[in-house]
A and B are shown apart, each in its own frame.
Chain A
């Protein structure tokens, strides 16, 4: 399909610039938009680990000029702060491990931006995400190392129907080559990593700044106090580093964070095998271009960004998604997304609210 009015979100990076260029080649009427998401865009960071600095806005504008499309900057800083940054902090405060990229896609890129775009007469929003839309369903990208279907699996069918991912079929190295051929100066710009609004990558300090000291105890599963911490938000289930527990465990094995209880600010640690879970509960399922599960289904589940997939059986229980892993997995954190796949096709996603160890109950099937 060509001739659509497409809003290309341009971050100033090579992916979104190339995606916008491809949308033009595909015959669409493209307008570029840079989302000003930072409350403090005047900080320059070379070799940006973060994103959306003034330098990025200029890079995006330059790319739009080279491609030959109109370009605007939309100020979404307030909305981004409320929907993504504050949510990030609140989730950690509640003892969960959020994925802000997911939240940004869900609330900003394919919500606030999409809504505004549609109101202004656009048909679709185009981004540089690595994912594919095939027959209305979300699929992994051709480049498995860059696949971002995990963070896009929060999109509803409605949102997906107005999304465009021109890079999904191309490996990243080829995208850079293409950008260079097209004369886009950002061809050599390094990718941003980590959380875009935590400039130096130090999430713990960022959280400490927002939440303040919140000391509590570090205990083992018997309740014995092993040490203290100055903020439970600095921990994630499955974490091994950073546990300042004075004495080694009796059995000499390394300790891992098993649980974070935010109200009492208690962090429970234990040996690796205590991390193992097979039963996962996840809430607020979204069926990304697919029909909701009506009966239990064998499929694959991915439980972390860049995590491996686990064979499982999933079924819908009211508003909850129950996932039984066929083999135990470790370090499953509440707040992360559980994304169900059938091969490379995304079935849907939900937010992990609980995970438990194997039981001796009769299995589902």
Chain B
């Protein structure tokens, strides 16, 4: 978490007041919340009234997917989304299908994991839809989707377009208004803010049915006492991230490109998954398949050497399951299982990249031996 965000949050923790209350403490807290809202609106290219605070990205995705479906299900039960979405979107859609009679259409992605606008056009030409949800950038393989073009297609057909920008907001300039999206998810912890706070940004006039009922906070869209300290820290972190983004992006892109070069030098048959480095790929993301290895064995070995990486996104870790993202991109199960993601962020340095390259050859060698069944 960014030091300035920690400081802001700590300060607020000492002054707790309910921003919904009418008394002085409440008024003070509300002022902090509204100032934070304005700050975030500026960072994300939105109006303050378009920001709905939630407990994080997962809740915002649930609110968008379920809420917009419920608002639109009389018009259509079709939900158009991709199979590379984060589980907060995927599982919400699966649940709507199983329990609420939704009819998902899974938009296919190409080999780089990208949904092309003509694919969405063809899907919407067939029949109306309740909503479309396509993530701005993929957290596993770094694919950046053509969001403005996709949103324009949805708009043409009068279908609300939601985008999960959780990963993208950390590394790319996100302008909600310019994107043409109707709903957008962002979260605090990806920006160096706290875990436990996020927002669903909703264009005026877009009204999902609430998931949380109660005190009517956030214009009745999302009830629940607002977490003033976390909201303030979220805004401070987002502003800091935006201010340093251009320089950070240059720095991280260079580091990431060097990481790719060094990994290929250390393990010549490693395969980069996702789009080639460039505007189509998140600046800090690298994702490789290591033939003959199990990703979880490799992760364990790297972890033992002080290098943190990931096999799937953090939420699917546990027993090694092939990444749904890689499978959607056409990889077979064994390639998907032998893959690792390396993400670079504002604390990453050249020595981190060098350390990885140094440790990788032996780790890959051992992971290959661990995967091969012994003679017994």
Q: Mark A69-81, 1 if CB is under 8 A from B, else 0.
A: 0101111000000
Which of B142-150, B236-244, B293-301 faces chain A?
B293-301
Q: If the complex has contacts A36-B319, A111-B376, are A72 and B370 also in contact, measured as CB distance less than 8 A?
A: no
Residues of A close to B370: CB separation below 8 A: 116, 119-120
Interface class of chain A by DSSP:
mixed
Q: Which of B301, B319, B374 has the most CB of A within 10 A?
A: B319
Q: In the bound complex, do residue B366 and residue A119 qualify as a contact, i.e. CB atoms below 8 Å apart? A: yes
Q: In the bound complex, do residue B297 and residue A120 qualify as a contact, i.e. CB atoms below 8 Å apart? A: yes
Which B151-183 residues have C-beta < 8 A from chain A?
A: none
Q: If the complex has contacts A115-B374, A119-B369, A119-B370, are A31 and B319 also in contact, measured as CB distance less than 8 A?
A: no
Q: If the complex has contacts A31-B300, A31-B304, A70-B303, are A120 and B366 also in contact, measured as CB distance less than 8 A?
A: yes
Q: In the bound complex, do residue A73 and residue B319 qualify as a contact, i.e. CB atoms below 8 Å apart? A: yes
Residues of B close to A75: CB separation below 8 A: 319-320
Residues of A close to B279: CB separation below 8 A: none
Which B293-346 residues have C-beta < 8 A from chain A?
A: 296-297, 300-301, 303-304, 318-320
Q: In the bound complex, do residue A121 and residue B366 qualify as a contact, i.e. CB atoms below 8 Å apart? A: yes
Residues of A close to B374: CB separation below 8 A: 115
The complex places the Cα of A217 from the Cα of B376 at a distance, in Å, of 40
The complex places the Cα of A121 from the Cα of B303 at a distance, in Å, of 13
The complex places the Cα of A7 from the Cα of B141 at a distance, in Å, of 32
Q: Which of A36, A57, A70, A115 has the most CB of B within 10 A?
A: A115
The complex places the Cα of A332 from the Cα of B244 at a distance, in Å, of 77
Residues of B close to A73: CB separation below 8 A: 318-319
Q: How many of chain A's residues touch chain B, expressed as a range?
A: 10 to 19
Residues of A close to B369: CB separation below 8 A: 119
- For the complex, count residues of B whose C-beta is within 8 A of A: 15
Q: Which of A36, A57, A116 has the most CB of B within 10 A?
A: A116
The complex places the Cα of A70 from the Cα of B306 at a distance, in Å, of 12
Residue of B whose beta carbon sits closest to that of A75? B319
Residue of B whose beta carbon sits closest to that of A77? B319
CB distance from B148 to the nearest CB of A (A): 41
Residue of A whose beta carbon sits closest to that of B374? A115
The complex places the Cα of A74 from the Cα of B311 at a distance, in Å, of 14
Residues of B close to A36: CB separation below 8 A: 319
Q: In the bound complex, do residue A120 and residue B300 qualify as a contact, i.e. CB atoms below 8 Å apart? A: yes
The complex places the Cα of A70 from the Cα of B300 at a distance, in Å, of 9
Residues of B close to A119: CB separation below 8 A: 366, 369-370
The complex places the Cα of A36 from the Cα of B320 at a distance, in Å, of 10
Residue of A whose beta carbon sits closest to that of B301? A120
Q: If the complex has contacts A72-B296, A115-B374, are A121 and B301 also in contact, measured as CB distance less than 8 A?
A: yes
The complex places the Cα of A115 from the Cα of B369 at a distance, in Å, of 9
CB distance from A312 to the nearest CB of B (A): 31
CB distance from A227 to the nearest CB of B (A): 44
Q: Which of A57, A70, A73, A120 has the most CB of B within 10 A?
A: A120
Residue of A whose beta carbon sits closest to that of B318? A73
Q: Which of A31, A73, A116, A119 has the most CB of B within 10 A?
A: A119
Residue of A whose beta carbon sits closest to that of B373? A115
The complex places the Cα of A74 from the Cα of B366 at a distance, in Å, of 16
The complex places the Cα of A70 from the Cα of B317 at a distance, in Å, of 14
The complex places the Cα of A120 from the Cα of B367 at a distance, in Å, of 7
Which B11-42 residues have C-beta < 8 A from chain A?
A: none
The complex places the Cα of A75 from the Cα of B301 at a distance, in Å, of 17
Q: In the bound complex, do residue B304 and residue A70 qualify as a contact, i.e. CB atoms below 8 Å apart? A: yes
The complex places the Cα of A70 from the Cα of B318 at a distance, in Å, of 13
Q: Mark A50-80, 1 if CB is under 8 A from B, else 0.
A: 0000000100000000000010111100000
Which A97-127 residues have C-beta < 8 A from chain B?
A: 111, 115-116, 119-121
CB distance from B330 to the nearest CB of A (A): 24
CB distance from B54 to the nearest CB of A (A): 27
Residues of B close to A111: CB separation below 8 A: 376
CB distance from A237 to the nearest CB of B (A): 31
CB distance from A95 to the nearest CB of B (A): 27
Residues of A close to B366: CB separation below 8 A: 119-121
Which A28-49 residues have C-beta < 8 A from chain B?
A: 31, 36
Residue of A whose beta carbon sits closest to that of B320? A75
Residue of B whose beta carbon sits closest to that of A117? B370
Q: Which residues of B contact A (CB under 8 A)?
A: 296-297, 300-301, 303-304, 318-320, 366-367, 369-370, 374, 376
26 inter-chain pairs at a CB distance below 8 angstroms, sorted by A residue, are A31-B300, A31-B304, A36-B319, A57-B318, A70-B303, A70-B304, A72-B300, A73-B318, A73-B319, A75-B319, A75-B320, A111-B376, A115-B374, A115-B376, A116-B297, A119-B366, A119-B369, A119-B370, A120-B297, A120-B300, A120-B301, A120-B366, A120-B367, A120-B370, A121-B301, A121-B304
Q: Which residues of A contact B (CB under 8 A)?
A: 31, 36, 57, 70, 72-75, 111, 115-116, 119-121
Known: A36-B319, A72-B300. 8 other contacts (CB 8 A): A31-B300, A73-B319, A75-B319, A111-B376, A116-B370, A119-B366, A120-B300, A120-B301
User: Which 5 pairs show the lowest CB-CB distances between chains A and B?
Assistant: A119-B370, A119-B369, A75-B319, A115-B374, A116-B370
